[in-house]
Structure 1
Amino acid sequence: MIDVELGALLADAGQAAAYFIDVRDRAAVVEAANALGYHVAEANLENADDKAALLDELAAALEFPATFGANWDALADSLGDLSWRPAPGYVLLLDHCADLREAAPADFATLLEILDEAARAHAGQGVPFWAVLPLASADA
């Protein structure tokens, strides 16, 4: 995200996906997303060391409807349809994700696949959906 003006990049639904960034760039991403009028959701994964805790944190951060089924399919469905949260674009920040990546690598890989799938689904409607995973340089 260095060579391209950040706002222009975030506005490009075709480029949206799950991306690891340096934690020092987090504030700039939030600022650019807010300037575009995007919905910014922040999930703190510091204590999410398994699938159940991860899904609970994501449901809370994105204010999923009470009908959220708390499984991978429900996460994919909910991320693919954010109609209760209308916005011109979305940025989901997954803070403190390094511990989850280490503790549950298979679940973490599934999460990344679902996030990328959601980004593709929204891109098909011309709506950017970014999943941003800030990491300290030691965690990269």
Structure 2
Amino acid sequence: MTSLATTLQGKRSAVLRSGRSAQEVLAVGRQAGWRLVDLELTGPTDKAAFLDLCANAFDLPDWFGHNWDALADCLDDIQDEPGVLVAFAGAEHLSAPDREVIRDIFDERVDLGPNPFVVVAATGT
């Protein structure tokens, strides 16, 4: 967990993998004072259910269109201080094409700035 703590302290954006649970990842973010987003899938799901989870977890605006482009646009607008930490667990419950799109959206958001945005692929609870 040292690399995550170092990333948060350095206020750097990143997409990371961790063998830790989503709750352990969030605990590190809590200690650092970051905005926490828990995206933990516990069973088979589809695009619509994932987008609903994102709408709730990120507290997206009412106008969120529940599609991939709208998710990307809404994530671009999230600029919390000192940063946003997303614990993403259970990706294996999504289809391979959906996982690829989600990875692309998160990669693009991480590169956006100016405030740090960190996504950690964690294990389930």
The bucket for the TM-score relative to the shorter chain is: 0.7 to 0.9
Equivalent in the alignment of 2:68: 72
Name the amino acid aligned to 1:133: A
Is the alpha carbon distance of 1:26 and 1:44 closer, same or farther for their aligned partners in structure 2, counting shifts above 3 Å? closer
When the two chains are superposed, the root-mean-square deviation of aligned CA atoms in Å is 2.1
Contact 1:46–1:97 (Cα < 8 Å) also in 2? no
Work out which of the residue numbers 93, 110, 116 in structure 2 matches 1:128: 116
Stretches of structure 2 that go unaligned for 5 or more consecutive residues are none
The percentage of aligned residue pairs carrying the same residue is: 30
Aligned match of 2:5? 7
Q: Residue 16 of structure 2 corresponds to which residue in structure 1?
A: 19
What TM-score, normalized to structure 2? 0.84
User: Which ranges in structure 1 are unaligned for 5 or more consecutive residues?
Assistant: none
Deviation at 1:35, TM superposition (A): 2.2
CA distance in 2: counterparts of 1:46 and 1:87, whole angstroms: 29
Tell me what 2:96 maps to.
Answer: 105
**CA distance 1:61–1:24, shift in 2 (3 Å):** closer
Which protein is bigger by CA-based radius of gyration? 1
Name the SS of the counterpart of 1:40 in structure 2: strand
Q: CA separation in 1, counterparts of 2:48 and 2:66?
A: 7
Distance 1:25 1:96 in 2: 10
TM-score relative to the length of structure 1: 0.76
The separation in 2 between residues aligned to 1:48 and 1:121, in whole angstroms, is: 30
Matched, 1:115 2:96: no
